[in-house]
Chains A and B, each alone.
Chain A
Amino acid sequence: MYSLFFYITPLIGFILTLIIMPYLIRYMNSINKNGPDVFKIDTPIIPESGGIGFMIIFIFLLIIGTIASPTIVVQQRLLMTTIIITLVTIIGLIDDFKGLSAKIKPLLLIIIALPILIFQIGTPKPVLPLIGPTQLTIFYWFLALFVIAIPANASNMLDVMNGVMSGSGIMILLTAFITSFIIPIDGRIITDDSIYYLRFVSLTMISVLTAFWLFNRYPAKIFAGDTGSLGVGATIGLVAIFGQIEFVMVVALLLHIMNSFSIISSLKGLRERKEIHDRPVSVKDGIITASKNPAAPITLVRLLVASSSKTEKTVINQIYSLVAYCCILAILSAFLIRQELIQL
């Protein structure tokens, strides 16, 4: 099942992304697709929409992966993934270059998840800790509609500082990859096909995202834009559903969910950036301070700088350690699921 192709693909993805990024930086600057890095003292102008670079390579590798699939089931899942990820990338590009309203974007992400509901590709038996496998049938496919919209928006909302989205995406997908070695394959509930899919997609995204992170980390040479953040989030969602690790991925995404949940609930719904008059933080001489205005949205960054003002670098490191902690909880959850599956 695991041919030489399986091991070479991530390597190709990593090298291609490393090669393409300097060209993309120059191109985005040449067309004036750039914006200020507001957390820096000198507010440098940084090229945006870098996500298009690694997403195109990822889609290309997904197409090759679909053609070279070891089984029909894997092929169906990879084909579905390729189509959905391509559509998400197009939505991200439209958002980056033309702009989409805060309400239309999640709606479009729900619509593009419709093929999952229509063709019902996947296994509607999520395995939960303390319970084991469940049979949700109709309810599962209803939940599947949100499998793109929720992680994609959560990833987008946490793309606030240099390297945060890409770094946390790498950690979460690495957790998914590690989980594939923890959860036992019994052929009835967790199948070889699901595990192959899980390993292939997570490893391929990790490789392209790591190469991108080298340019996106502090101090950033390029921003991912919505193309990148929506694409990474959608990949996490698809890995969760087609790799049959739904619960593990929910736990790994706890910090992302916490950030988006607190923003949406404190703003009483989805709002455009221009509609938010009270900023959650202010920046002066590279020091980030939390807003004391009760009307300002509650964001993770505001929570982190509430006790004392901090530099961008400190906040980034704190977010990294919090995501790493969620990933540890996710791996613990995977061991609890393993216990349930072994007892069957």
Chain B
Amino acid sequence: MKYSLSIYGILTIIWLILLALCGLIGILIVPIDSQMFTNLMSYLISISKVLISSIAIIAWLLFWYKSMNYILSYELSKNSS
């Protein structure tokens, strides 16, 4: 049962990070005032927004994968001891 609780923990953290990602994307999708910037600058800002979102999503997936690996090795070592 203890072990199942850790999967519940991972699922909860993954869900919370997913919500946080929504918040981040929410901030990023606010349209920029193009009058303030040159065309090139607006273009660079748009690219940066996509990059930041992509990096955040990749980091989320990496965290997910690493946490599962960690829990598996921890539980297996506990089992063998």
B56 at the A interface (CB under 8 A): no
- Sampled A-B contacts (21; CB under 8 Å): A131-B25, A131-B29, A134-B29, A250-B18, A254-B11, A254-B15, A258-B14, A261-B61, A290-B75, A292-B76, A302-B72, A303-B7, A303-B68, A304-B7, A307-B3, A308-B3, A308-B79, A321-B4, A322-B8, A326-B11, A336-B19
Say yes or no: A129 contacts B8, CB within 8 Å: no
In the complex with contacts A298-B68, A298-B69, A329-B76 CB distance below 8 A: no
**B interface: dominant SS:** helix
Minimum CB–CB distance from A154 to chain B (whole Å) comes to 14
Contacts of B69 in A (CB 8 A): 298
Minimum CB–CB distance from A163 to chain B (whole Å) comes to 18
Which residues of chain B in 1-42 are interfacial with respect to chain A, using CB atoms and an 8 Å cutoff? 2-4, 7-8, 10-12, 14-15, 18-19, 22-23, 25-26, 29
Say yes or no: A128 contacts B22, CB within 8 Å: yes
Which residues of chain A in 78-120 are interfacial with respect to chain B, using CB atoms and an 8 Å cutoff? none
B residues bordering A, Cβ < 8 Å? 2-4, 7-8, 10-12, 14-15, 18-19, 22-23, 25-26, 29, 61, 64-65, 68-69, 71-72, 75-76, 78-80
A43 at the B interface (CB under 8 A): no
Contacts of B18 in A (CB 8 A): 250-251
Residue ID in chain B nearest A247 by CB atoms: B22
Minimum CB–CB distance from B1 to chain A (whole Å) comes to 9
Report how many A-B pairs have Cβ atoms within 8 Å: 80
A residues bordering B, Cβ < 8 Å? 128-131, 134, 247, 250-251, 254-255, 258, 261-262, 265, 290, 292, 298, 302-304, 306-308, 318, 321-322, 325-326, 329, 333, 336
Q: Which 6 A-B pairs have the closest CB atoms?
A: A306-B75, A131-B26, A307-B3, A307-B75, A128-B22, A130-B23
Say yes or no: B19 contacts A307, CB within 8 Å: no
Report how far A129 CA is from B19 CA in the complex, Å: 7
Contacts of A262 in B (CB 8 A): 65, 68
Say yes or no: B7 contacts A322, CB within 8 Å: yes
In the complex with contacts A128-B22, A258-B14, A303-B79 CB distance below 8 A: no
